[in-house]
Amino acid sequence: MKKICVITDNQYIYTEFKNLIQEKCMKEKFEFYYTESNRKFCEDYKNRIDFRPIQLNNKNKEFFEQYNLFFSLHCKQIFPEKLVNNYRCINIHPGFNPHNRGWYPQVFSIINQKPIGVTIHEMDTELDHGPIIFQKEVEIFSYDTSYDVYQRIIKMEINMLKENLNTLILGTYKTISLKEEGNVNYKYDFDKICKLDMERKGTLKEHIDLLRATTFDGYRNAYFLDKDNNKIYVSITLDKV
Ligand code: 0FX
């Protein structure tokens, strides 16, 4: 029996996915990996044989051939061409392809109002780009921060995996190719919006959207530099009554 290779760098997804395969009593054998450069996971999962570090571009054909499917569940490394071109690889992406592909999709959707949600797709050599298997949109409310939208997205990801895991494993689905290329954001685009331009002109809505797009519990993102060159972090609180 061939195996399924799961690569994840996300604690929530890892825990929930493991619960899910246990609940479903899956007969397939799953092997779990995280990215070698993920320092937190290297610390937390040191000496664990059921969750190991991996660097995919150092792996050869013999390694890939053990598996009949690869899952990228929020994986920090780019899957190499030799893998995506020759084996079935499925990505669970916290965004609505082709809109705001790449880094932190909900951040950019709050700002540019493009659709946001979850996309499960077959991987190709481009970022968050391959044929779509399943896709669902998530709503953004006027009082949401990036954190709120992200929580909605990751819960939906787990629900979609719950509903569709057997189909994904068997490959009994029809895919839809992207009709347009959409847009891609990188980490440096996020870093750029976090550096607040205090002279920037715009509507108050644009300014509030920028602040809620960069507000995420547990992270200090947006900031400005004051006259003494102090870095002042800014986040926003929105209360719906
Ligand atoms: O699991 P994930 O959502 O991201 C992962 C990979 O890290 C990323 O490379 C890949 N493109 C993505 C599909 O899967 O976790 P995260 O912790 O990197 O980010 C989660 C959210 O946290 C993000 O959407 C926005 C927020 N965040 C994260 C960091 C690191 C911030 O607001 N500020 C930050 O500095």
Q: How far apart are CA 45 and CA 52, in angstroms?
A: 8
Q: Is residue 232 pLDDT above 80, yes or no? A: yes
pLDDT at 40: 97
Q: Whose CA is nearest to atom 35 of ligand 1?
A: 219
The answer to whether 196 and 224 are in contact (CB under 8 A) is yes
Which amino acid residue places its CA nearest to atom 28 of ligand 1?
219
Q: Is 79 in the pocket of ligand 1 (CB under 6 A)?
A: no
Atom of ligand 1 nearest to the CA of 219: 33
The answer to whether residue 122 scores a pLDDT higher than 80 is yes
Please tell me if the CB atom of residue 9 comes closer than 6 angstroms to any atom of ligand 1. yes
pLDDT at residue 158 tops 90: yes
Ligand 1 site, residue 99, Cβ cutoff 6 A: no
- Give the DSSP per-residue string, 24-51: TT--SEEEEEEETT-HHHHHHTTT-SSE
The finding on whether 41 has its CB within 6 A of some atom of ligand 1 is no
- Name residue, tokens 């993102």: 221
Catalytic residue among 74, 93, 121, 129: 93
Q: Which range (24-28, 32-36, 116-120) has the least confidence?
A: 24-28
CA of 185 to the centre of ligand 1 (A): 12
Percent helix, strand and coil across the chain, each to the nearest 5:
35, 25, 45
Residue 103 near ligand 1, beta carbon < 6 Å: yes
pLDDT at 2: 74
93 is known as an active-site residue = yes
Measured N-to-C along each axis, helices 11-23 and 146-170 cross at an angle, to the nearest 10 degrees, of 40
Work out the average pLDDT over 128-155.
Answer: 98
Averaged pLDDT of the chain: 97
Give the pTM. 0.96
**Residue keyed to tokens 């029809």:** 174
**Ligand 1 center from residue 58 Cα (angstroms):** 24
| CA–CA separation, 180 and 132 (whole Å) | 12
What mean pLDDT comes out for the span 209-221?
A: 98
> What is the pLDDT confidence band of residue 1, given thresholds at 50, 70 and 90?
low
Q: What pairs with residue 34 in β-bridges?
A: 53
> Given this model, what pLDDT does residue 51 score?
97
Stretch 45-49: mean pLDDT: 94
Residue of minimum CA distance from atom 4 in ligand 1: 74
| 104 CA from centroid of ligand 1 (Å) | 6
> Rg of the Cα trace of the chain?
19
